[in-house]
């Protein structure tokens, strides 16, 4: 039931592309113009609306007759889930006029409003034109969402909103300690995706050790099927399985050191081991021929056509690849394969984190209204509505009871259950978008996966990129607390 835009590069792919800002850190192009524009944004501005009276039903003290302005990114998740949540706001506050707009041009349309001191009250800051979060936070452009997190939840007045969220959501919205600047609404499971039907046809189980992985790939190769494909033109998809594998092999502190841009972080033995394992896939001919030239849609299409067994991706792939996915594909996801029993973390260790970042601007006229709209979206009913319509989980921890889950979603929920506390969340892609996307992804991992650089050369190059970023005073630096 997901929106049709989910099946085009402009829709989910593009949005998702950015989800990874949430996810990936992929977007960097528009950030400079936004940065320069932000510098002058302290001038002007309209008056804030008067606050309403706090009550059990209105814990944020929303002004019941004040207008509320909500701008949504119009991507793969479509608009309906947000429109439905707006209707709840309008029913709760019938005197309030809600202006709801959906656009793909977030920076183009909203930058002038930030500059003029007249931003909307709530923004889904996503898509190819996502505004740079680090810049927004650094320039003090965002409202702290702590009042929302500490407010009573819609479903249980005895439970704060923060107590209803999935692991990692609150932390993802933080940049330097306590304030929470961003609420990621979608919840993405990253890992290795495959057709359970195709795996069964090879009489194989999902491999838990690297020797088993190579054996499964060899089996597939004999049947004329490649072991792997990936978005060769966007190789920052490869870390969706590679990074959690590094944590599994060496412990989550290896990823923390990488996020912190520590000297020699990339020289850790676990990084070397995992890079060599992935390089072996290339060396043994287990990667679909031509993969380095494919974009995310082309690689997913080859994979849904059964030309390759495994693909590193995020849970949006079920919606995005639906057009070419056979009805009996039986989509499944697994945590990354490890090396062997010496790995520091158990099999099942997976990367899962928030996507679709919602923000309330500091200069919004109706800050409480923006937060209240988010509080409504974090109710069980709104969460279920989102999950049913777009095949994705939300930040709300639950909301799947009584819904018939699609195969990929069901598999994602099972993978999260298996992981338990062993969920990792690399922050490189949120904190250092250009470093993760262009340098580590394209110039580093992409070249290695294409067979044009060895693991040792790649590690050296990536460590140099990380050191340059660490020493660049024009970049705001963040660290795990």
Q: Is residue 308 part of a domain?
A: yes
User: Which of the four pLDDT bands, split at 50, 70 and 90, describes residue 38?
Assistant: very low
Cα 383 to Cα 380: distance, rounded to the nearest angstrom? 5
The model's pLDDT over 16-27, given as tens digits with 9 standing for 90+, comes to 333 433 333 333
Query: What pLDDT, on the 0 to 100 scale, is given for residue 46?
Result: 61
Percentage of the chain exceeding pLDDT 90: 75
Expressed as residue numbers, the domain containing 13 is 4-188+352-414
Q: Is residue 481 part of a domain?
A: no
Under a CB-based contact definition with an 8 Å cutoff, are residues 238 and 230 in contact?
A: yes
**Can you read off the two tokens belonging to residue 436?**
């993760």
User: For the chain, what is the mean pLDDT?
Assistant: 89
Residues 226, 298 within the same domain = yes
Instruction: Report the pLDDT averaged over residues 368-379.
Output: 98
Residues 221, 342 within the same domain = yes
User: Which of the four pLDDT bands, split at 50, 70 and 90, describes residue 355?
Assistant: confident
Reduce the DSSP state of residue 188 to 3 states and report it: strand
Q: Is residue 422 part of a domain?
A: no
Question: What is this structure's pTM?
Answer: 0.79
Query: What pLDDT, on the 0 to 100 scale, is given for residue 279?
Result: 98
| Residue 29 confidence (pLDDT) above 80 | no
Residues 379, 459 within the same domain = no
Instruction: Report the pLDDT averaged over residues 400-417.
Output: 91
The model's pLDDT over 251-293, given as tens digits with 9 standing for 90+, comes to 999 999 999 999 999 999 999 999 999 999 999 999 999 999 9
Q: Is residue 385 part of a domain?
A: yes
Residues 314, 200 within the same domain = yes
Residue 115's closest CA among 89, 151, 92, 141?
A: 141
Residues 364, 452 within the same domain = no
Residues 377, 343 within the same domain = no
Residues 338, 446 within the same domain = yes
CA atoms within 13 A of residue 431's CA, in its CB half-sphere: 22
Residues 111, 88 within the same domain = yes
Cα 358 to Cα 130: distance, rounded to the nearest angstrom? 11
Instruction: Report the pLDDT averaged over residues 352-372.
Output: 96
Cα 18 to Cα 437: distance, rounded to the nearest angstrom? 11
Which of 45-59, 103-117, 197-211, 231-245 has the weakest average pLDDT?
45-59
Cα 357 to Cα 181: distance, rounded to the nearest angstrom? 10
DSSP string, 273-285: HHHHHHHHHHHTT
Q: Is residue 406 part of a domain?
A: yes
Task: Answer positive or negative: Cα dihedral of 78, 119, 187, 271.
Answer: positive
Query: What pLDDT, on the 0 to 100 scale, is given for residue 26?
Result: 34
Residues 388, 398 within the same domain = yes
Under a CB-based contact definition with an 8 Å cutoff, are residues 37 and 114 in contact?
A: yes
Reduce the DSSP state of residue 124 to 3 states and report it: strand
Residues 223, 333 within the same domain = yes
Under a CB-based contact definition with an 8 Å cutoff, are residues 86 and 116 in contact?
A: no
Query: What pLDDT, on the 0 to 100 scale, is given for residue 402?
Result: 86
**DSSP secondary structure code for residue 13 in this structure:** I
Q: Are strands 183-195 and 331-334 parallel, antiparallel or unpaired?
A: antiparallel
Residues 198, 259 within the same domain = yes
Instruction: Report the pLDDT averaged over residues 447-468.
Output: 98
Q: Is residue 379 part of a domain?
A: yes
Under a CB-based contact definition with an 8 Å cutoff, are residues 310 and 221 in contact?
A: no
Reduce the DSSP state of residue 98 to 3 states and report it: strand
Beta bridge partners of 423: 350
| Number of independent structural domains in the chain | 2
Residues 439, 342 within the same domain = yes
Q: Is residue 294 part of a domain?
A: yes
**Can you read off the two tokens belonging to residue 16?**
């998702």
CATH of the domain at 90: 3.40.190.10
**3-state SS record for 231-263:** CCCCHHHCHHHHHHHHHHHHCHHHHHHHHCCCC
The model's pLDDT over 64-99, given as tens digits with 9 standing for 90+, comes to 999 999 999 988 788 999 999 999 999 999 999 999
Q: Is residue 479 part of a domain?
A: no
Among candidate residues 390, 414, 438, the one where a domain is terminated: 414
Percentage of the chain exceeding pLDDT 70: 90
The model's pLDDT over 202-257, given as tens digits with 9 standing for 90+, comes to 999 999 999 999 999 999 999 999 999 999 999 999 999 999 999 999 999 999 99
């Amino acid at each position: 039931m997901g929106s049709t835009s989910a099946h085009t590069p402009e829709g989910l792919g593009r949005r998702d592309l950015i989800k990874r800002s949430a996810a990936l850190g992929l977007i960097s192009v528009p950030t400079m113009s936004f940065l320069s524009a932000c510098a002058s944004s302290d001038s002007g501005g309209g008056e804030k609306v008067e606050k309403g009276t706090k009550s059990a039903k209105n814990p944020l003290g929303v002004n019941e007759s004040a207008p509320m302005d909500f701008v949504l990114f119009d991507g793969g998740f479509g608009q309906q889930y947000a429109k439905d949540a707006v209707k709840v706001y309008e029913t709760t506050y019938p005197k309030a006029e809600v202006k709801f707009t959906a656009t793909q041009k977030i920076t183009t349309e909203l930058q002038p409003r930030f500059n003029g001191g007249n931003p909307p009250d709530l923004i889904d800051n996503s898509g190819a034109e996502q505004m740079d979060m680090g810049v927004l936070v650094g320039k003090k452009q965002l409202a702290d969402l702590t009042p929302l997190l500490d407010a009573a939840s819609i479903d249980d007045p005895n439970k704060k909103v923060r107590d209803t969220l999935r692991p990692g959501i609150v932390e993802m919205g933080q940049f330097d300690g306590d304030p929470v600047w961003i609420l990621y609404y979608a919840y993405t499971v990253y890992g290795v995706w495959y057709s359970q039907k195709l795996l069964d046809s090879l009489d194989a189980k999902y491999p838990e050790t690297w020797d088993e992985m190579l054996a499964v790939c060899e089996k597939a190769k004999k049947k004329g099927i490649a072991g792997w494909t990936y978005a060769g033109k966007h190789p920052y998809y490869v870390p969706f399985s590679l990074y959690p594998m590094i944590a599994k092999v060496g412990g989550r502190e290896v990823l923390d050191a990488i996020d912190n841009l520590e000297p020699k972080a990339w020289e850790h033995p676990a990084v070397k081991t995992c890079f060599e394992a992935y390089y072996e896939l290339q060396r043994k001919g287990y990667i679909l021929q031509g993969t380095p030239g494919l974009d995310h849609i082309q690689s997913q299409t080859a994979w849904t056509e059964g030309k390759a067994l495994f693909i590193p991706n995020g849970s949006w792939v079920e919606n995005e690849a639906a057009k070419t996915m056979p009805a009996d594909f039986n989509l499944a996801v697994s945590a990354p394969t490890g090396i062997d029993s010496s790995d520091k973390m158990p099999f099942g260790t997976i990367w899962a984190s928030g996507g679709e970042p919602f923000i309330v601007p500091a200069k919004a006229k109706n800050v409480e209204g923006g937060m209240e709209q988010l509080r409504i979206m974090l109710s069980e009913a709104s969460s279920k509505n989102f999950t049913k319509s777009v095949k994705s989980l939300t930040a709300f921890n639950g909301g799947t009871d009584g819904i018939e889950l699609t195969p990929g979603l069901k598999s994602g929920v099972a993978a999260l259950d298996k992981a338990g506390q062993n969920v990792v969340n690399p922050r490189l892609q949120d904190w250092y978008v250009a470093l993760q996307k262009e340098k580590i992804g394209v110039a580093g991992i992409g070249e290695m996966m294409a067979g044009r650089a060895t693991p040792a050369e790649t590690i050296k190059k990536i460590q140099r990129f990380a050191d340059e970023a660490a020493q660049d005073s024009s970049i705001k630096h963040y660290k795990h607390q």
